[in-house]
Structure 1
Amino acid sequence: MTIHSKYLWGIISIIALSLTSCKKSYLDFQEEGEPLSAKIRFVNARNNGASIHFWTYITRVTSSLVTQNQSTNYINTQFGDVQISFSEGSNSTLKASTQFGNAATFGASGGPNGPIPDYYHTVFAIRKKNSVTNDSLILFYDDLVAPAAGKAKVRFVHLAPLVSDIRVKANSNTLFNSIAYGRAGNSIIAGTGLSAYSLGPFVSVDAGTLRFELTKIANESNLALARQEIAVQEGKIYTIYLSGVTDTALTLNSFTHN
């Protein structure tokens, strides 16, 4: 069968139109306008006192060393399937690396929970569970929608590697019934689509001073904290995290997102 040229060009035009109208995923690069980037705040939550630099693949993204329990401002970085690493001091040798966004299903150590363009994230450098020598990294999505009037927003992350699951109370009210190591309260580590973005959610609390009480669920014993109270201001968004090695040498750390 012979196809006349005018019909052939019509078919080609339809195919071209259908290709150009396809939606792009966040793994694609923007073709026009300003290049997209993910916004990531980096936190050094390790327990050995060493200051570190953060990297995406072979590019160092921090301009100055991040000391223990300190965080950077949000930095424009690569999005999509990306390896995030850190090094100690002036040494360029990478101590630990994690590939984010590299799996077909959602999971705690990868999956599609990679950095998203024009979205905000927090990446922690941490010790691996039950270890004080092996390192890793975790990523959380940051919901920066402003709190309601009179309220603050709080996220609680458990980063004390030798401490089992904990219950978190603030001002005698239970904020989170159970948080495992490396997790945030109320986090979801299963499913796809929108549920993936619940990894590390914030909860609303009254502005003022929060007095924390942490309990090991395994034996209902209270943890000794070097710092028990954290003041939260109206309209502010906080991440609070537990760090330290033994049950009797733990600290609460906090930083604001806005």
Structure 2
Amino acid sequence: MKNVNLKTLFKTFIAVVAVSAVFAACSKDKYEPQQVAGLSVIDAFPDTMSLDFYIDVTRVNNKKALKFNDKIDYLNLFPGTRTVSVARRNGNKAIAHERFNMAPGIGYSIFILDTLQTNEKRFLRTEDDLSAPAADKAKVRFINLYKAATSGVGAGLELGIAGKDTDLFTEKAFYEYTDFTAVDPGESITFNIKQGDAVITTLPNVKIERGKIYTIYAKGNSAATIDSLKLGAAIYTHK
């Protein structure tokens, strides 16, 4: 894909505001609140490149570059079709872009997957279930974003908890993700990411709090030569 100049590609302006903002539509003397969509952004592209993330023509990470494993918490935005794009830090040419429809009242996560010609899939957009967990529970989901050299039957990943006989999730292929499921809170939980019966990476000593919502994802690239870009796992709280 050719680089695209942000100034000429995007014609629609979007207002990106603080999470607590409320928009109102005025009709004579009657004010009606307008629902917004929520969007969080996670850089899951295993590379040392520093990025800027745009929603239409608005750069949303003005204070610092977006790097591998960085996350932008939920932003409020007007619903409708939005163009998301990434550019090299302080550049003005999009190196990847895609259009997504954002429905009012829904929270979404967009994972930056790749900015290179080698992969046609540049972004993964998920719809996030932000409803409160059941009483005395937390919620967790799993996403496989580990770019392995092998694929096909047997290449899916499992997520389990150390000491438990049954895995939380099984056989998730590259780019696949699960629904959220309830888990018990705990002060020091070790999550195992497995391929078949073999544990290939772990998230040790994780504190899972009652009432919170988490995403765990496998990350990295099996072909990476830099340790920080190799196979690993990450967890974040939806907020």
TM-score over 0.5 for the alignment? yes
Partner AA of 1:242 in structure 2: A
**Which of 177, 183, 194 is the equivalent residue of 2:176?**
183
With over 3 angstroms needed to count, the CA separation of the structure-2 counterparts of 1:167 and 1:224, relative to structure 1, is closer
The match for 1:96 is 96
Could you tell me which residue of structure 2 aligns to residue 222 of structure 1?
Answer: 198
2:67 maps to 1:74: no
In the alignment of these two chains, the number of paired residues is 196
Aligned amino acid, residue 167 of structure 1 = E
TM-superposed deviation, 1:135? 6.2
Residues 1:170 and 2:156 aligned together: no
CA distance in structure 1 between the aligned counterparts of 2:61 and 2:76, rounded to whole angstroms? 10
Tell me the TM-score normalized by structure 1: 0.67
Extract unaligned runs of 5+ from structure 2.
Answer: 1-24, 150-154
Q: How far apart are the structure 1 equivalents of 2:112 and 2:199? A: 23
Tell me the SS of whatever aligns to 2:79. Answer: coil
Distance 2:120 2:213 in 1: 30
Which secondary structure does the structure 2 equivalent of 1:49 belong to?
A: coil
Structure 2 counterpart of 1:253, one-letter code: A
Partner of 2:3: none
Deviation at 1:145, TM superposition (A): 1.4
1:36–1:62: structure 2 CA closer, same or farther, 3 Å change rule?
farther
Distance, in Å, in 1 between the alignment partners of 2:203 and 2:192 is 10
SS in 1 for 2:73: coil
Q: TM-score, length-normalised on structure 2?
A: 0.72
Q: Does 1:118 align with 2:105?
A: yes
Q: Which runs of 5+ in 1 are unaligned?
A: 1-29, 101-113, 186-200
Corresponding letter in the other structure for 2:88: E
Looking at secondary structure, tell me which structure has more strand per residue: 2
Partner of residue 126, structure 2: 140
Does the 8 Å CA contact 1:128/1:161 hold for their aligned counterparts?
Answer: no
Q: Do the aligned residues in 1 keep the contact of 2:96 with 2:115 (CA within 8 Å)?
A: no
Tell me which protein shows more helix as a share of its residues. Answer: 1
Please give the alpha-carbon distance, in whole angstroms, between the structure 1 residues aligned to 2:122 and 2:217: 16
**Helix, strand or coil: the match of 2:215?**
strand
Please give the root-mean-square deviation of Cα atoms over the aligned residues, in Å. 2.7
Secondary structure of residue in 2 paired with 1:241? strand
Deviation at 1:250, TM superposition (A): 1.4
